Structure 1
Amino acid sequence: MKTKIKTMILACSCLLAAGLTVTQNAVAQEGNAKPNIVLINMDNFGYGELGCYGGGILRGGATPRIDKLATEGTRLLNYNVEAQCTPSRAALMTGRYAVRTGNGSVPLETADYGLTQWEYTMPEMLGDVGYTTAMFGKWHLGQAEGRYPTNQGFDEWYGIPNSTDESLWPAQEMFQKYRKLAEETGKNPMIKEEHIYSARKGSPAKVVKVYDLPARREIDREITDHAKDFMTRQAKADKPFFLYLPYTQTHMPILPSKEFEGKSGNGQWGDVLMQIDAYTGELLDKVDGLGIADNTIFIFTSDNGGECIPGYQGWSGPWSGSYFTGKEGSLRVPFIVRWPGKVPAGKVSNEIVHQFDLFATVANIAGGKVPTDRIIDSKDMTDFFLGKQEESGRDGFVVYVGNDIHGVKWHNFKMMFMEFEGGLGSGKLNVFPLPHFYDLYSDPKEEYPVTKATGGSLWQRWGCGPILTEHQASLAAEPPIKPGTLDPYVPAKQNK
């Protein structure tokens, strides 16, 4: 099947010239001190959850603080991410398609996953230009020494290395049986409880406690408290900081803190929405109270579209699909950015931005460097974010689900080669004999594909095709790192 898919993709693409090269130079923001950066990255938080995106009270929990944040900054309607947790975080941290780093899919077969030391991450880039960096929350880019956040550029970390569904394991009798067997025999060493860790750069990570259901309830409270303490310390030190907050909500199991349990009166989802809004409000209040609001870039976004597991399902607003699909409900998530006096207040844009574009943008603003010794997919969005131009500069990108190319998005059109009927690959994978084309203005839910029978719209392939062929040429020029690659790693072309 893979050969057939590759043949079909190539047949539908236009031939372009050789590989992609990126030689951007970081440019510091003239006349300003380096801004602080607070980046909230929710987990499986759908496009339609917030009030300012059509949710809020419609979903059982008001979100007034985040809705107000949207009026104070710019809100994007077409901010796109990778379709799974690990690839999404890899793309954000490196400015590269996750497949390039060996993290195109969530780790199911190898325990040795995550970013190699060769990758140059956002916190490393910011640390190199004087920032203090901290991460509190879910990493999902490595679960062993050498691949923790404090091995990848963060000065401090409190949180979990993997995923929140692992909090369900400790309460299972069968899991405990096989966990003990693994301990006794030395076999199946990854059958073990996940833990919350605390770490500082240069020292081994320390186990804090088992990440079980009671810990799952309160970890986002703890993350918020760590964040406020970090900002207070950095404000006193008068040093720019990068605070990355990958919260664990709303990844299943969706359980509110005891503080918010029952608060909405509309069930756990409403409670959790109120919790998310309140914690964001606390962070905004801390920024204001420390007197650093005018020089702090504050971002609220998500790693993936909404959950698809019955009982925990999220909401994608006007779009269809959940994460683990190539549909808009997987790709589009909320994105709000505030930087008083610099980012336009109250602006709403439908321009395409991809999460890996934050790398080059942050580098420009902070005076960091974008590597030129590897392919970088990130585009500098500084002028777009600052309101100096209306266009983002990105006209599309390749749609991956795991390590497979599912299609291409170009302006408001999509050319799709395959699609899952349900999220998490739970439905049938439909591989189309000819690509399906969608116009997202007239068909936002991707319900009425244009195919050969209605070929009047097949001109769209000449917009989508070049994006794909350019990307494929870049993969040939710089082969992706293989999943499970161990350190030390040096690309073959640099190892000659």
Structure 2
Amino acid sequence: MQKLIFILLFITASFSTKAVFAQAKNSKPNIVIVFTDDQGYQDVGVFGSPLISTPNLDNMAKNGIKFTDFYSASSVCSPSRAALLTGSYPNRVGVPEVLWPNLPGGLSNAETTIANMLKTQNYATACIGKWHLGDEQEYLPISQGFDMYYGIPFSNDMSVNPKSKISKNIVFREGMTLDSLREKKWRGSRVPLFEQDEVIEYPVNQSTITQRYTEQAIHFIKENKNERFFLYLAHSMPHVPLYASASFKGKSKRGLYGDAIEEIDWSVGEILRTLKEQGLDENTLVIFTSDNGPWTSRGEHGGSALPLRGHKNETFEGGFRVPMIAQWNGKIKPASVSDKVISTIDVLPTVAYLTGADLPEKKIDGKNIWPILSGKQNKKSPHKKEGFFYYKDFNLEAVRQGDWKLRIIEDDVALYNLKDDISEQHNLAATYPIKVKKLKKLMLDFDEELQQNKRNQQHLRSK
């Protein structure tokens, strides 16, 4: 009898241990980041778009939280992606400029990306879509912590690196051949599609690219539904040239730009539906945002940042402030809205907190924003005191601290109160000289520290 009781106790303890282990394993959330390209602040229904229909993103905001004062850390592509993935201002990690194909350099793989960090926690990791942090072998996603990569390695208006590794099953289109790919000739908007570190299609059919990214993302989620995973889905749209599949082309009231956004909205809906069907929606944090402001010089093919001033490649609000929505069923209060100043640099430390991962050993700039995401009352922005900084290329041009923003370009000094003047129309520098002096010192002190501690500058390149 004693032996039987011992066996039963052992079995019970064994099952209890397994249950506790499973619960602990599931307590760490899956992470999904959807990152669009050149989508303006206004170009989502819940952010005020009058013509673009985004029911899935609107519903995501209804089920989660919308941020009105969320910032990319750059107003152009490569630096903004470096910032998101490393939790650092792009100048700190050596990517202050846009990177171009067929030139050396990229984000150093000595940096710790979100993917690197989550691999230490046994996460499956996937990068699907636009990379734009170096297209040589040592800089591609699979060298930066990602298990798999499928996408266009830079902006969709660029060309191809003739030195790229070629799949033996490559599909050539539009009369291209291996010889023509190997030519050192610029062919704008004829870009390659990569799988892992090989070109599998050239030039890629961009009309189906959003659809194919989505299919790959869904496959990854289903394949890893019993594991923890990190999905970084970086859409190539709505960067020009614009494309939409047959199901969406010509359907939006906002023309081809609207078609591209509405297909992205469909993609978000498919991701969320898949998470729910697989029973993962209550253990997955989903973040949607854009890499920078709209390319308004492209006219109807560019987006809108209204009511903000400025656009891509500027340090006015329209270049840096972007739409952001986050959802985690059961963890984030539905229909929340926050005006706290937070940024893409805050994503990595927040993910570290939620997953139990160690922060990178090297200095980063982001802060854990989970208290804000989860709706803790009276929680201030982690950047309220120290400020949020706006770099353009190698130069620090602006800082925001609380409601105040100082922008200095050579002798042009402008001070704005963003709470009262979101469109940056009224320069108050002459009215508040002490505020100007204080914020200018904040800029100088921060830039001095960054210049002393920046790294990997040998990886810089320019067109």
**Structure 1-normalised TM-score?**
0.79
Q: Deviations over 1:214-252 (max 9, x none)?
A: x111111000000001100111xx111000000111101
Which of 44, 47, 53 is the aligned partner of 1:50?
A: 44
1:93 maps to a residue whose letter is L
In structure 2, the partner of 1:225 is 215
Structure with higher Rg: it is 2
2:157 maps to a residue whose letter is D
CA 1:469–1:278 in structure 2 vs 1: closer, same or farther (change >3 Å)?
same
CA 1:182–1:257 in structure 2 vs 1: closer, same or farther (change >3 Å)?
closer
2:115 maps to a residue whose letter is P
In structure 2, the partner of 1:127 is 119
Q: Which runs of 5+ in 1 are unaligned?
A: 1-28, 170-175, 200-204, 419-430, 487-496
CA 1:34–1:312 in structure 2 vs 1: closer, same or farther (change >3 Å)?
same
Between the aligned partners of 1:260 and 1:31, the Cα distance in structure 2 is 40
1:462 to partner: Cα distance? 5.1
Between the aligned partners of 1:313 and 1:476, the Cα distance in structure 2 is 34
Which of 348, 353, 358 is the aligned partner of 2:342?
A: 353
Which of 144, 149, 171 is the aligned partner of 2:141?
A: 149
Structure 1 runs of 4+ with >4 Å offset: 29-32, 179-184, 188-193
**Does structure 1 conserve the Cα–Cα contact (< 8 Å) formed by 2:92 and 2:455?**
yes
In structure 2, the partner of 1:362 is 351
1:472 aligns with 2:447: yes
Residue aligned with 1:197, SS: strand
1:306 aligns with 2:294: yes
In structure 2, the partner of 1:13 is none
Which of 385, 390, 393 is the aligned partner of 1:402?
A: 393
In structure 1, the partner of 2:376 is 388
1:436 maps to a residue whose letter is A
Q: Deviations over 1:51-103 (max 9, x none)?
A: 10001xx12x3111110110111110011011110000000111111112221
2:394 maps to a residue whose letter is N
CA 1:250–1:413 in structure 2 vs 1: closer, same or farther (change >3 Å)?
same
**Structure 2-normalised TM-score?**
0.85
Between the aligned partners of 1:227 and 1:266, the Cα distance in structure 2 is 27
CA 1:180–1:30 in structure 2 vs 1: closer, same or farther (change >3 Å)?
closer
Task: Supply the RMSD in Å over aligned alpha carbons.
Answer: 2.7
1:64 aligns with 2:39: no
**Does structure 1 conserve the Cα–Cα contact (< 8 Å) formed by 2:129 and 2:152?**
yes
Structure having greater relative contact order (Cα 8 Å, sep ≥ 6):
1
**Does structure 1 conserve the Cα–Cα contact (< 8 Å) formed by 2:309 and 2:423?**
yes
In structure 1, the partner of 2:200 is 208
Which of 242, 245, 258 is the aligned partner of 2:246?
A: 258
1:344 aligns with 2:333: yes
In structure 2, the partner of 1:23 is none
Q: Deviations over 1:262-318 (max 9, x none)?
A: 223652123223212111111111011001110010111111111222342210021
Residue aligned with 1:474, SS: helix
After TM superposition, list the pairs within 5 Å mapping 1:372-387 onto structure 2: 372=361, 374-387=362-375
Between the aligned partners of 1:68 and 1:358, the Cα distance in structure 2 is 22
* Greater Cα shift, 264-273 or 292-301: 264-273
Which of 35, 44, 47 is the aligned partner of 1:41?
A: 35
**Does structure 2 conserve the Cα–Cα contact (< 8 Å) formed by 1:398 and 1:405?**
yes
Between the aligned partners of 2:154 and 2:78, the Cα distance in structure 1 is 9
1:401 to partner: Cα distance? 1.2
Between the aligned partners of 1:32 and 1:225, the Cα distance in structure 2 is 25
Q: Which runs of 5+ in 2 are unaligned?
A: 1-22, 162-174
1:291 maps to a residue whose letter is G
Between the aligned partners of 1:447 and 1:263, the Cα distance in structure 2 is 35
